[in-house]
Structure 1
Amino acid sequence: MAQKAVKPLGLSKNKGIFRRELPFYLMLIPGVLFALVFSYGPMFGLVMAFQDFTPLKSFENSPWVGLQNFRDMLALPTFWSVVRNTLVISLSKIVLRLLVPLVIALLLNEVINEKFKRVAQSVFFLPYFLSWAVMGGILRSLFQYDGMVNSVLTSLGMERIMFLGSNTWFPIIVILSDVWKDMGYNMIIFLAAITNVDPALNESAALDGANRWQQIWNITLPTIRPIVVMLLVLSLGSVLSAGLDQVMLLYNPMVYESGDIIDTLVYRLGLVNHQWSLSAAVGLMKSVISFILVVLSYRVATKRFDYQVF
């Protein structure tokens, strides 16, 4: 008598899991297609970085020049000043985006009045929902030569300052305005992490004579350290992105010395000066370095802080 074939238990189990999760895979299809068409598809244009590309000749007929565009990139008279500006602005933003929200979250966590705490959270979080198109108009109204800030300075007997035309003040305004706009998001994350701190630890520390500062330093901060590391790792990927939309709305030729960044250089080379290949070379250089920084920061976070995404 022939015996029926018995299906392996693991195979049937995996089949059941796949059937149960099939709707989720189907829901992923639009997002995957969107990423393939608008994120991975345009990457074919990176071949311009190795060509003397002109739109009339297309990719097929444009001559290959190897690494000549990268040599021209390094020979640009403003290239290294642009890299310096990008690093100064972006690193300052990364540090302050973590430090300022963390301090505010720790202070708000000590507030006893719940109504005041909710109002304060809303006030700090509100600028995050404003686009840079709106914020750019607000900042220009505040800091232009005849704006509100200069009106206050003249009323105090001080001279007017050309904030948006000064190579000293412009990067400061860019950094602080970005921190002001985006600090509410990280503040909410830190507040949520602080609420997960076991109150029993603080109570035990208080019984041992620890004050609030000692409790924050020795209990709260070590507990939320994984969240801080996660935000730091996620932000290091944009270390060469100092905020194109923000800078484009505020800067002018007078502040190119301190406000010109890699993204604005790519914009001017490609769309203004029509140097397509040189622009693609600068953009490719930025992408490669950003990818390397993400990988290195993730490895450091995994080894030193036991943080893993996958």
Structure 2
Amino acid sequence: MIKSRKQKQKKVPVKVYFRNTWQLYLMLLIPVIYIILFKYKPMLGVVAAFKKFNVFAGIWKSPWVGLEHFREAFGSAEFWSALKNTLILNIGDLILGFPFPILIAVFLFEINSKKIRKVTQTILYLPNFLSWVIIAGIVTQLFSSSGLVNELFCKMGFGEVGFLSSPFAWRIVYWISGIWQSAGYSLIIYLAALTSTDPSLGEAAYIDGATRLQRIWHVTLSQIRPTISIMLIMQLGKIISIDFDRPYMLGNTLVKSASDVISTYVYNVGLQSGRFDFATAVGLFQSVVGIILILSVNQISKKIGEEGIM
């Protein structure tokens, strides 16, 4: 028996191995080349953050300026205002938007009606295919001073509300529109995690006298905690970075104090002025902080007994 096991564990010669599996490595070569050309090679462009970039001279022949662009950014009041707005909007998305798809996924998982489940999934997932240009038009039609919501408020005697002119009200509209647009995508992930849970644990809890809320909290949610923790880590890693199209399309001059974020700051100060080196410096700052946050939260989640992303 021992000899037969040793014979089975003999290593296959390299030539024989590659002769049998070269098709798989050929298939793997295509995505590897893609990642190298379009993901790793562009990373060399971060050198522009430390140079006074000249379009005609190129990145490598442009003069070196060191940390000058970073000093300029950190010494600008506009940068810190944009950073503050970015954190406020992202933390609001995290607090309001992160639990929403989890609650909807648990609700759909608990109900027995397949028709309600399919209709709800479709309604929530459809906005994911809409661009923020279209969503901004819908938001304007609903929440402008002459929009549908204000017309209803006036008829009910509440008066007009400046949803798109008050910074505080604009943030609420921003968060609501973000939940509506992105909840469907996260919902699919959580539903997939819920379908892989063990139903016998819930049945055992029911026999022991646990209520439905107790079964949801102690059985259902506990089984998808790894998925929730991974999604939370990824969300926290993006807390300092923000998409350009959403605040730019939803914002206006009346709420610039709330809608001017890092991405719009880079666009206005860096790209519109042709200062690609300054824009690269701010982008590099976001990336470094994002990596530090992901690694930190990942280590914290492991120390408290949760699964990390690596």
TM-score category (smaller protein)? 0.7 to 0.9
Secondary structure in structure 2 of the residue aligned to 1:83? helix
How much is the aligned-residue C-alpha RMSD, in angstroms?
2.5
* Structure 1 position 277 matched with structure 2 position 283: no
Whole-angstrom CA distance in 1 between matches of 2:24 and 2:248: 40
2:250 alignment partner in structure 1: 250
Partner of 2:48: 48
> What is the deviation of 1:10?
4.8
The residue number in structure 2 matching 1:304 is 304
**1:1-310 alignment, distance < 5 Å:** 10-12=10-12, 18-310=18-310
Q: Taking structure 1 as reference, are residues 156 and 275 closer, same or farther at Cα in structure 2, changes over 3 Å only? A: same
CA distance in 2, matches of 1:306, 1:86: 28
Mapped to 1, the partners of 2:239 and 2:10 lie a distance apart of 46
Report if the CA contact (8 A) 2:248-2:259 is conserved: no
Which residue type is aligned with residue 152 of structure 1? L
C-alpha distance 37-165 of structure 1, shift in aligned 2 (>3 A): farther
User: Is the 2:53–2:63 contact (alpha carbons within 8 Å) kept by the matching residues of 1?
Assistant: yes
Equivalent position SS for 1:161: coil
Worse-superposed segment, 64-73 or 17-26:
17-26
Aligned residues, how many? 304
Bigger shift: 239-248 or 153-162? 153-162
SS of 1:52's equivalent in the other structure is coil
Letter aligned with residue 63 of structure 1: P
The alpha carbon displacement at 1:246 in A equals: 0.9
- Cα distance in 1 for residues equivalent to 2:99 and 2:15: 48
TM-score, normalised with respect to structure 1: 0.88
Partner Cα distance (1:224, 1:186) in 2: 13
Structure 2 gaps, min length 5? 1-7
Structure 1: how far apart are the matches of 2:267 and 2:17?
48
Report the secondary structure of 1:128's partner residue. helix
1:165 is paired with a residue of what secondary structure? Answer: coil
- After superposing the two structures, state which structure 1 stretch, 228-237 or 55-64, moved more: 55-64
Post-superposition offset of 1:20? 4.8
CA distance in 2, matches of 1:12, 1:140: 66
Question: Percent of counterpart pairs with the same letter?
Answer: 36
- Please report how far the alpha carbon of residue 29 of structure 1 lies from its aligned counterpart in structure 2 after TM superposition: 2.9
> Given the superposition, is the C-alpha separation of residues 255 and 15 from structure 1 closer, same or farther in structure 2, using an over 3 Å criterion?
farther
Bigger shift: residues 206-215 or 134-143: 134-143
Q: State which drifts further: 48-57 or 118-127.
A: 48-57
| Structure 1: runs of 5 or more not aligned | 1-7
**CA apart distance, 1:287:** 0.9
SS at the partner of 1:139?
helix
Indicate the larger mover: 155-164 or 207-216. 155-164
What's the TM-score, normalizing by structure 2?
Answer: 0.88
Cα distance in 1 between the residues matched to 2:99 and 2:307: 20
Residue identity opposite 1:193 in structure 2: A
Query: Which has the higher mean CA deviation after the structures are superposed, 218-227 or 274-283?
Result: 274-283
**Does the 8 Å contact 1:226/1:305 carry over to 2?**
no
Partner AA of 1:77 in structure 2: A
Query: Against the structure 1 CA distance between its residues 95 and 27, is the aligned structure 2 distance closer, same or farther, given a 3 Å change threshold?
Result: farther
How many angstroms does 1:200 deviate by? Answer: 2.0
Give the Cα separation in 2 of the matches to 1:13 and 1:134.
59
Q: Cα deviations across residues 64-105 of structure 1 (Å, max 9, x unaligned)? A: 221121111111112222111111211222333330111111
Amino acid at match of 2:51: Q
How many Å separate the matches in 2 of 1:14 and 1:165? 69
| Residue type of the alignment partner of 1:53 | F
Which region of structure 1 is more displaced relative to structure 2, 76-85 or 157-166?
Answer: 157-166
